[in-house]
Amino acid sequence: MGELCQAEIAIIGAGPAGMAAAIRLAQAGIRPVVFDMGNAPGGQIYRQLNAPVIGETLSGTDYYRGRRLLRDFSRADIDYRPRSQVWWGQCESDGVSLGVVDSAGASRWHVHRLLLATGSMERSWPFPGWQLPGLMQAGAAQILFKEGGLVPEASPVLAGSGPLLYLLAWQYCRAGCAPQRILDTTPASRYRLPLRYLRGAWKGRHYLMKGSRMMLALKRAGVPIHHGVEALEATGRNRVERVHYYWRGHWHDQDTSLVLTHFGVVPEPQLGRAIGIPYDWHEGQQGFLPVRNASLQARDRVWIAGDGGGIGGALNAEREGRLAALSMLTVSANDVADRERERRRLEHRRATDLAVRPLLEAMFRLPSHWLSEQPDTTLVCRCESVSLGELRRAIEQGAVGPNQLKAFTRCGMGPCQGRECGESVTRLLSTVQARPPQEVGYYQVRPPVQALSLGELAAMATDA
Amino acid sequence: MFQRIAESSVIDGVDIQLDGEIYHIPVTLSVAAAVLFIKGDEEYRRHVDGHARAPFCLMGCCHECLITIDGEPNRRGCLVSVAEGMSIERQLEGSQDDG
Ligand SMILES: Cc1cc2nc3c(=O)[nH]c(=O)nc-3n(C[C@H](O)[C@H](O)[C@H](O)COP(=O)(O)OP(=O)(O)OC[C@H]3O[C@@H](n4cnc5c(N)ncnc54)[C@H](O)[C@@H]3O)c2cc1C
Ligand code: FES
């Protein structure tokens, strides 16, 4: 399977969590290998910050905050490997084996300890027409903005829920292409929740103030915001021409060529699941999170830091990266006290920062029955074009769990390997069978977790 | 469908071939972003079910951006940056392997 390489510690992901961990390990004299799919370090939030295309007035200050991390990362002694995809992993008694593909081909790695810092992905949230061209996730629009300074030619409609939706709307306003309107699925009453979560609200006041400032700026720019939109549909012949939304007891239509949706983010699960880490349903985050102990360790020799372990945002990811690094270092007697102090300081800041999360989770909570209320024609599995109706019929015919549903319908068997439909299937079964999502479970995930080209597969077959 | 904002910093360009035609494209764009920039989303890709599809996540998850790059089909266009002399072909036939 290609060349066999060794390292003491491997980190997968060069977002804030992976970068912070690598920097801390390098400070302690360990040279970690860092694999990342991107062209440059930064992960999702600090994408393209190594050579920024948009200025701070357009991006907002959070983006430029990452420069310090990028600088420390570039100066530290780290075996950083951009454009490398980890497609396979296996825990063994003396370490972890990894399969990596990069532009030079495939290689196999054996490492003693592994940190997964693979981040999150946008939550898939099906409704009729969500597969049409002209409908993209808000994160995708932000990537176009950060990587190329690209904005929509015609004013888009933004739909969904959560801080990232408003961040994008705000950025577009600054860039002179204010959205036509915002279809917020969060009921207006939820924005009064901080009054009930006073402690979290106080500790997270900067997050809340940032949010209110953004909303105020949008209102000033004259962007209509509809709170409490209950259903969505996109229609058009070959692409989106119109969006329909159910609001205040009626359906409304809006002509548009671009709809950008956001329904929160969830940990990207493929690699963690493929190497056998258990995932538990988290009611607050409405998704599956890997099970970790207080030192962020998920199993023997494997740690998980950042949004891949649960959604906590960029600052939390950075702190978790450092905490994981401290836990991975085998401690020598003379620096025990220093490390312990560092750890406690980080833990304290992390707890303060995370105190706002239950409030944010309650504020942006999505209706868990959403999917089961969609019409039968709604696609759930985009890759294999499996509709909600087909899934309902398969459930009636006796498909009791996600893996059976997959075998019955091909749902989750396409190129994305179930990333886009996995939690939808869990949610649907949970509603239909009135069982908690934890009990319903998730697809069995098997490698390759990154799609390999035929050439790469052939190269490995001949080398093996 | 997408345009560059005037305030964005000057970026080097590269020449790529998209379905045989040459375009000058900012080097920071991914293949998927470049195709959206040049052609829009209406004719990005035909899906196995015969319908038009276009990039959805741009971060490697959804596999809606599958495209042929330098002769190799079904690459995720959002994970590959444009490069000088690169040849890109859209998959408009409505057939696709699971690879
Ligand atoms: C599309 C998107 C946009 C976002 N934008 C913002 C924003 O503007 N502001 C904000 O505050 N928060 C944003 N977030 C939330 C943001 O993800 C977190 O705050 C922060 O980036 C989390 O850091 P992280 O290090 O945990 O993961 P990430 O920053 O997501 O980094 C994970 C890295 O791991 C790599 N990776 C994953 N799997 C593999 C693999 N198998 N092989 C190799 N590499 C792999 C990825 O390419 C990525 O570079 C965004 C999230 C998403 C999904
Ligand atoms: S657009 Fe989703 S994988 Fe490329």
pLDDT tens digits along A176-198:
999 999 999 999 888 888 878 88
- Taking an 8 Å cut-off on Cβ atoms, the answer to whether B59 and A39 are in contact is no
Quote the CA–CA distance of A128 and A373 in Å, as a whole number. 11
CATH code of the domain in which A192 resides: 3.50.50.60
Within-domain flag for A239:
yes
B residues 24..83 contacting A (CB < 8 A) = 26, 28-30, 33, 36-37, 41-42, 44, 47-49, 51-64, 66, 72, 74-76, 78-79, 81
Quote the CA–CA distance of A157 and B58 in Å, as a whole number. 19
Within-domain flag for A291:
yes
- Per the CB < 8 A criterion, the answer to whether A322 and A24 are in contact is yes
At A246, the amino acid letter reads Y
Q: Where do the domains of chain B lie?
A: 13-89
Domain that holds residue A206: 124-263
Q: Tokens representing A394?
A: 């398969």
Secondary structure E strands in A238-283 = 242-247, 250-255, 259-263, 265-267, 279-282
CA of A144 to the centre of ligand 2 (A): 12
- Give tens-digit pLDDT for B21-79: 999 999 999 999 999 999 999 899 999 999 999 999 999 999 999 999 999 999 999 99
A259 and A281 housed in the same domain: no
Cβ-Cβ contacts under 8 Å between A and B: the total is 151
A278 and A247 housed in the same domain: no
- Closest residue in chain A to residue B13, using alpha carbons only: A148
CA of B59 to the centre of ligand 2 (A): 5
Q: What does the pLDDT read at residue B96?
A: 47
CB atoms within 10 A of CB A351: 11
- Closest ligand 1 atom number to CA of residue A17: 25
A103 and A139 housed in the same domain: no
Give the domain B13-89 fold.
Ubiquitin-like (UB roll) (3.10.20)
A129 and A255 housed in the same domain: yes
Q: What angle do the packed helices A402-409 and A422-433 form, to 10 degrees?
A: 110
Q: Kindly state whether B20 is in contact with chain A, defined as any CB-CB distance less than 8 angstroms.
A: no
- Closest ligand 1 atom number to CA of residue A140: 1
> pLDDT (tens digit, 0 to 9) for every residue of chain A, 464 residues total?
567 999 999 999 999 999 999 999 999 999 999 999 999 999 999 999 999 999 998 998 899 999 999 999 999 999 999 999 999 999 999 999 999 999 888 999 999 999 999 999 999 999 999 999 999 999 999 999 999 999 999 999 999 999 999 999 999 999 999 999 999 999 988 888 887 888 888 888 888 888 889 999 999 999 999 999 999 999 999 999 999 999 999 999 999 999 999 999 999 999 999 999 999 999 999 999 999 999 999 999 999 999 999 999 999 999 999 999 999 997 666 678 888 899 999 999 999 999 999 999 999 999 999 999 999 999 999 999 999 999 999 999 999 999 999 999 999 999 999 999 999 999 999 999 999 999 999 999 988 888 776 666 665 555 44
A233 and A148 housed in the same domain: yes
Cα distances (Å, whole numbers) of residue A414 to A265, A388, A426:
22, 16, 17
A117 and A128 housed in the same domain: no
Angle at A319 between CA A316 and CA A321, to 5 degrees: 110
- Taking an 8 Å cut-off on Cβ atoms, the answer to whether B79 and A258 are in contact is no
A36 and A104 housed in the same domain: yes
Instruction: Calculate the CA B20 to chain-centre distance.
Output: 14
A106 and A18 housed in the same domain: yes
Within-domain flag for A449:
no
B27 contact residues in A (CB cutoff 8 A)? none
Q: What does the pLDDT read at residue A390?
A: 98
Quote the CA–CA distance of A122 and A261 in Å, as a whole number. 10
Query: What's the domain count of chain A?
Result: 3
- Per the CB < 8 A criterion, the answer to whether A401 and A440 are in contact is yes
- This prediction has a pTM of 0.95
At A97, the amino acid letter reads S
For chain A, give me the number of helices (H) and strands (E)? 17, 23
A184 and A236 housed in the same domain: yes
Q: Which residues line ligand 1 (CB under 6 A)?
A: A 12-18, 35-38, 43-45, 62, 84-86, 117-122, 139, 142, 164, 167, 265, 268, 271, 306-308, 313-314, 317, 450; B 59
A17 and A87 housed in the same domain: yes
Spatial CA neighbour of A410 closest among A452, A382, A370? A382
A204 and A187 housed in the same domain: yes
Q: Tokens representing A439?
A: 């009990």
Q: What does the pLDDT read at residue A334?
A: 66
The DSSP annotation for A327-395 comes to: HHSPPPGGGHHHHHHHHHHHHHHHHHHHTTHHHHHHHTPPPTTTGGGS-TT-EEETTTTEEHHHHHHHH
CATH code of the domain in which A398 resides: 1.10.10.1100
